[in-house]
Structure formats: structure tokens, C-alpha cells
Amino acid sequence: MSSLEGVVIADFSRVLAAPYATMVLGDLGAEVVKVEQPGRGDETRAWGPPHYEDEATYFLSVNRNKTSVQIDLSTEAGREQARELIARADVVVENFKPGTMKKFGLDYESLGRDDLVYCSISGFGSGKGADLPGYDLLVQAVGGLMSVTGPGPHQPVKTGVALVDVLTGLHACVGILAALRHREATGLGQLVELDLLTVLLSSMVNQSAGFTLAGSVPKPMGNRHPSIAPYEVFPTADQPIVLAVGNDRQFRRLCSVLDVPELATDPRFVTNSDRVENVDELFEVLAARLRTRPAQHWFETLTPLGVPCGPVNDVARAFALAESLDLGPTATIDGMTLVANPIRLSRTPVTYRLRPPKLEQ
């Protein structure tokens, strides 16, 4: 038995945030029926390259464990078909522009079902921000993430993946599961609402709290950390390596291995606060030593001593590392190798039942 076996989800979502959420719920056993526009489907079906055979890998990345049905919501017949689907569903998930589902008579209030869990995801909420386009890049910009990412204030950089969408999808899962638990106890469903902007502000954790609690407006620091040192990327003889030294004990061990034990008692570097204050000088000394050997040498020497470090891998090497650690980073469905769900449950493990649906399915 799966954790969510018997839960039916009417999935009116597209692109990334909400489809990621419904895929995770599908992996946990829910039956997910994906509603798509006839003849076109989810926009990400056309977002390639890269492709797997003739399908966009973008779409395939977030739509396994779902079936697909084509419904034209602009017609009364289509809306009636959607209502029939919702009638047998426990959960509705949608991420249209705010007001769209109300126009179709398919919003939470119009459906009028006390037992329905209904999740709406938007870029900037359903109030004053309803008309703003909810694109991940835009939210990274106006939400402050790009202001703390990159080498300097005049070179803002987005993350290498649509991180805000993924975080929003995960928060949606938490909200949906909480609402299902409440329904189990009371018989009552509820409306679950998320917007990308406040999810991002919450997910910026210490950077956001530094502002709300201390009025500190963080600035970009490249690969450095505002509160820990050494905690950044260093050059080696062949490729970059990351050091993530979180305490004085680790720092002393690092200095010993690098044959500069005097750094551990240098007044500029004795405590973490000292090291943060003098991070430029610290970087120069450590970089000079690290450049003398390859990254793998330092990884194999420092790791057994409890000094967190590792080479900057590309995605291929990252998957190889996960495989070497027996973490099972991939799953195969009908010959298709997809990224595995990282949740491990001892009694009700995730399952991979259905490959991402083709539009005609």
C-alpha cells in the first residue's frame, strides 16, 4: 500500500511549480489526472531541447505517475467534463492566472464542496498582485534572490534551475498533506494558497531574517557565506573545490593538513568571527596551499578528518557520486530513466507506476 493510495487529484496545473507538486504526490501513491489543453497540452511539451526521443525532457521531468485528459475549458461541455472529474477528486491543484478558474466556475467557492482540498498557486497572490506574471526568473529578481546571488552588486545572477518554482511545489505538497490530515479528522476540506514571492522570502531563511530582525540588507558575496569562513570555492591544481568549515576544530585540522598550523593561532583567524572579518587574507593563504595538489587529493585527505569539502562536479559527476554512495538517484519506467524521488519511506515507499503521459493518452 502507498501512503496516498485512494487519493484522487484533479490536476489543472502547467509548467513547473504545481506539476512538480502533483508528481511528488503521485509518487506517494495518489491517482493524478492531468488536465491539458486539446491539441497543445502543457506548454513544457514544447520546451526543448533537450529531448528524449521526440519528447521534451522538461515536461518529462515533472509529469510521471499521471494520466492525461484533454479538456477544453472554454466550452460548456469541457467545463462539465472538468466538474465530473472534480466530483470524484479529493484534491484540485491549479496554477492558472488568478481569476481564471473563477471565470470557468471551477474555483473553490463556486464548486461549493466542503470536503474538497483545493490548492491554488500564483506568482504574487490573488489580490493586488493578481495581474503580475508569475515567472520564476521574474520572482528571483523582484524577490531579492538575485540581489544576493552573483559576484557583485552589478552582476546579479539567477540560480541554475527554476528554484522558486521547485520550492513552491514542495510547499504546496506540505499544505495539501496538512489539509488532507485535517479533512481526515474533521471531514472538512479547505483552500490552500501559495504564491512564489512569499515562498521565496520564506526560503531565503537567514538572509530574510537578517533583514526582518536586524534591518540588515544582504549583498552578493559570490560563493562566500555572510557568517562562516572559510566557506567558499577555492582553486586547486586541476579543478575548483569547496571548503565548508563550520567550526574552529575543523579549521585547526584544515590548517594542519595544509601544513600551515600557525594559522589556527593567528589572531586574525582564531575564531569564526575573526575569519569572517579577515576573509580576504584567509582566502589568499589557503588558496596558495590548495593550488599545490589536485582536488581529489584534498577531498580524500580532508574528508576522513571531518573537514567538509568536495570538488565542484558537473551533473554527470554528481549522479555518479550518488550512485557510488548507493543512493539510487534514478528510476526507470518503461525503459525511461528519470530522476528518483528522494523521499525514503520504510513502510510505504514511493512507487513509479506510470511514465509521463503522451498527449494522446
Q: What are the catalytic residues?
A: 165
Q: Three-state SS for 93? A: strand
Return the C-alpha cell found at 115: 470536503
What count of Cα atoms within 13 Å lies in the side-chain half-sphere of residue 145?
A: 27
Q: How far apart (Å, rounded) are the C-alpha atoms in residues 206 and 218?
A: 10
Give me the helices (H) in the chain, please: 17-27, 57-60, 76-87, 100-103, 108-111, 136-142, 163-186, 196-203, 205-214, 248-257, 272-277, 279-290, 295-302, 315-324
| Residue 177, number of CB atoms within 10 A of its CB | 19
Return the C-alpha cell found at 251: 579549521
Shortest CA distance to 212 belongs to which of 260, 144, 307, 310? 144
Q: How far apart (Å, rounded) are the C-alpha atoms in residues 296 and 24?
A: 35
Residue pair 269/263 in contact (Cβ under 8 Å)? The answer is yes
- Stretch (H or E) spanning 66: strand 66-70
- Stretch (H or E) spanning 9: strand 8-12
Return the C-alpha cell found at 195: 504564491
Q: Three-state SS for 185? A: helix
Strands 241-244, 231-234: pairing kind = antiparallel
Taking the alpha carbons at both ends of the chain, their separation in whole angstroms is: 26
